Structures are given as C-alpha cells and as structure tokens.
Structure 1
C-alpha cells in the first residue's frame, strides 16, 4: 500500500506528555520512520534523552533543529509559549513548510498573524489516547492550507486514532467532548471500581471488569452504528437490574452531571482562548 508520508519529516516543538503520546502512536503505526521524527525543547536535555532512548527518534535542542529538513512543525509546548515559538519559527521556515498546533486556545488566525504571509497552518486537538492509537482527534485548517497539506496531516493524525475535520468554531465543544473526555470516563471507572472493591472484589479484577465493560459498550456503538439511546433501551428490561441502576443515575442527576462536564470544559476552552488572545501579541 502506498504511503503518502514516505520521506516526510516531522518536528515536535515541545517534549511533554501530549507530544510523547503523539510520538508513541506515530511510531506504532509505522508510517513515519523514527529517524524522520525530531523532538526538541529549549533546555531539558534529560527529557530529550529519555524520549530518544524510548522511541529512537532524533532529539536536539531548539537552536540546533535542522529547519531545512522539516516538512511539518508540530507546536506541542504550553499555550503560553506560542508567541515565542511563532517568533522562533517565523524567520526560519519557508512557505511550503506547515505549522501544526496542538495548543488549546491558539487559533489559526493567531498563528497566521505570527508567521510569514501565506504560511499554511493547521490546528489539531488530539487526546492522550494517541499513545495507544485510539485518539479522537479534531483538525481545523487555516486560510492558506492546501489539499496536499490536509491529506498529509490527516494521515499523520490517523496514526494516533480517528480524525475528524471540523470548523474551527467547533473546537471548543470538541474539546469538551473529546479533548477532555477521557478524564470523565476515568472518573466514572474510578467510582465503579471503588464500589466493586468495597463489595469484596479484588482490586485488579474490579479494574479489569470495569475497563472491559466500558470498552465493550464503546465498541458496540462503533460496530453497530446505532444511537447509544437505542442500545441502552434494548438492554434495559422493565423492572430489571439495569433499569434500577439507570433510575438511580436519573434520580441523582447523572445525565445533568455529564452534560455540565462537557459544557464547562467547552466554556473553559473558550475562556482560555480569550485570555490568551488578550495577552499574546503575534509578531
């Protein structure tokens, strides 16, 4: 099968947990060789050594990055580092190179204003399930992104899971659903596991039972392509155990709690963007 990423080179600016999750998924997918992936940060050589030993990628400090070799630059530092990173890139990259941001609150308009005229930029929102190639990842293009850039970046992100091309205005709600979503399920699993242990199950068994149950439910939705409501109703027999459990969720505002979690995360995403727009001044 033809690999459109053959001979493409990617550089991660930032070496934190999200960068590592994306690197791990990309390496596992075997579409970009480790020697074609650069990882860089400003000061932390120990962290770079750790990633080099773990994934066999190339690691350099930012000042030593071979700019002419890079096709795609992935901004994976903290959002407040965006201004400095864009200024760092501006005088060193060419129009045919693409800047990708995984930074919450950093719009494509902001990136374009901080780079050279007509520079292609793409904003993406993966989650930490990238590490096991099961991320739900959003992608929004800038004003100067060409089809070839979009296809390449979709292919890169598909190494980490499923990719959804959306309008940038939808990034906040996507963040509430998927960017922050894994934490909601971890919290739910934490509570279910705790009850299982309290009622006598071995801790390891309780964890695996809960994880497999959630995995199976998610796989049913994906494989059957039916609405969760229909699947729920199908397994909820009148006066049965499931009906009793669902009733308890409803009586304790379980649905409202889930809705509020998504909406508050989305609202915070929008708030972060406004905060950053007020403090960052693109060059």
Structure 2
C-alpha cells in the first residue's frame, strides 16, 4: 500500500500503526496521521514510529490509498464532517468507529465510497486482537484483501456480514473484559487458599496461556478437553460442581447475549443521532 491515512491518533490507531509498521505492510513514512487538535500526541507518534503527521488536510489525503477513521466517539461527528470532502471513490475507507453502521457513513458521505467496517478489540495493543470485518458493495476484492492484511498485523481478522458485527462485539470485542473478570475472581481467591497474590497471578496467567494454546493446538472441542481434566471424585470435579450450581455456564451465555443486544441498541441510537445531525 503506497499511502495510509489515520484520522484519529488514540490507542487503537497506535496499535494498528505499530503492527503495520512492524510488519512492513506500509512504510512508516507513508503512514500519515492527524487528529483534532492534540499536536503533542502527533509528535509522540512521529518520534516513536517515524510516521508523517500533519493538520494540512490537502496534503494528508492527496494520493491516499486507504483512510482509517479512528476518532474518539465524542469527536466522530465533527471528524467525519471535516474529512468527507476529501474522501473519494478511489480510496478504501476503513472505520473502527464502534456502533456506526456502513449505511450511516454512506448517508453522511452522500457519495459512493468503498467502506470496510472493523471491530477489533483492545488486545490489538499486543498483536493479539480478534477482529471482525464487514464491507459494502463498492469494496473490490483487492481492497478487501488489503483491509484484512492490515488487521492481521495485530492479530486474527475474519470477514462477517455487517449484521453479525454486534455479535462479534458481544463475543470478542468485549471478550477480554470477561477474561479479566474471571482472573479477578481467581486472584481474589488467592488469600483464601493461602497463596501470595503475585505468585497467584503468575500461576493464573500461565494457566490461561496453556489452556488457550491447548484449544488452538487440539482439534478436540472445549467440552471434551474439560472432561479429560475432570476426574470422577477429583478436585476439578469439585470446583466445576460449584460453577454448575451457580449457573456460571448459563450466566456467561446471558452475558454475551446481553452485550450483543446492547451493541445493537447503542449502534441504532448512534446512527439516529448522526443521521438527525
């Protein structure tokens, strides 16, 4: 890709910049970055990654092959309105604006744009994101491949129907928080069972890493892997029995269903606000 523009310079933009630059997908100098007014932040990214930063919109968008919309939610409306005159049908427009539908962006633009909507998660910061991607009818096969390649620099990326992005949000977008919640409970148990907290954290993290790698490496379903660890009358069975008695399995399903429903609700509200504005 010859020139990639980021509108927005927050943590998600930086994670993508770091991954793209490290993988050599785009030369650092050909990654252009702007934001609303935080010049110090732009200077920081310039010094850290060697990207090109500017507030000159004409220079920013000239010959851009792709534009990533990564503004903060509170700046999204003003940001979109300020960049729309510079976006053309030749560019690939990639939105990581949570909840904002492709249809809404199309209505704001009022012109034909190739748009990809992406739902990464915060693990992009360490190159371990799980990202869902959806695109409109103006996106070419080559552009779809380019978008997927960009997000693969920060983890796994997969195409879904846009209607499924709320499900992706509920499952993997919010997913890291569910894991942190579980770890928080495991850490809080440390003092009850006589383990020093720092040691407990090391044991928990390694256990999670091992279980995740086992899931990746094995073709066995998670249910079978669980049963293989659960000996009749053993310690694991005793622990699992408590989880079952407290309906943790059903609660986790309900958690993801509720997060998905909330994503749909917030998306609808946000789209209505943008279209009314």
Alignment of 1:172-191 (within 5 A): 172-191=166-185
Partner of residue 142, structure 2: 148
- Partner secondary structure for residue 232 of structure 2: coil
Alpha carbons of structure 1 residues 206 and 61: separation in structure 2 relative to 1, 3 Å: farther
The answer to whether 1:114 aligns with 2:108 is yes
- C-alpha displacement of 1:198: 4.2
Alignment of 1:256-267 (within 5 A): 256-267=250-261
Structure 2 portions without partners, runs of 5+: none
Paired with 2:245 and 2:44, the residues of 1 have a C-alpha distance of 49
Q: Deviations over 1:238-271 (max 9, x none)?
A: 1111111111111112112211221121111111
Give yes or no for contact 1:105–1:273 (8 Å, CA) kept in 2.
Answer: yes
* Stretch of structure 1 that moved more, 11-20 or 129-138: 11-20
- Partner secondary structure for residue 206 of structure 1: helix
Aligned residue pairs total 277
Alpha carbons of structure 1 residues 197 and 13: separation in structure 2 relative to 1, 3 Å: farther
Alpha carbons of structure 1 residues 196 and 180: separation in structure 2 relative to 1, 3 Å: same
Partner of residue 23, structure 2: 29
* Stretch of structure 1 that moved more, 35-44 or 50-59: 50-59
Q: Which of the numbers 79, 84, 88 marks the counterpart of 1:94? A: 88
- C-alpha displacement of 1:92: 1.2
Alpha carbons of structure 1 residues 202 and 25: separation in structure 2 relative to 1, 3 Å: farther
* Stretch of structure 1 that moved more, 57-66 or 257-266: 57-66
Partner of residue 237, structure 1: 231
Give yes or no for contact 1:79–1:105 (8 Å, CA) kept in 2.
Answer: no
Give yes or no for contact 2:58–2:86 (8 Å, CA) kept in 1.
Answer: no
RMSD: 1.9
Partner of residue 54, structure 1: 48
Paired with 2:22 and 2:241, the residues of 1 have a C-alpha distance of 42
- Partner secondary structure for residue 38 of structure 1: strand
Partner of residue 78, structure 1: 72
Paired with 2:174 and 2:264, the residues of 1 have a C-alpha distance of 13
The answer to whether 1:255 aligns with 2:249 is yes
TM-score (norm 2): 0.93
Give yes or no for contact 2:5–2:66 (8 Å, CA) kept in 1.
Answer: yes
Q: Which of the numbers 209, 215, 219 marks the counterpart of 1:221? A: 215
Structure 1 portions without partners, runs of 5+: none
- C-alpha displacement of 1:225: 2.7
- Partner secondary structure for residue 281 of structure 1: helix
- C-alpha displacement of 1:54: 2.6
- C-alpha displacement of 1:115: 1.9
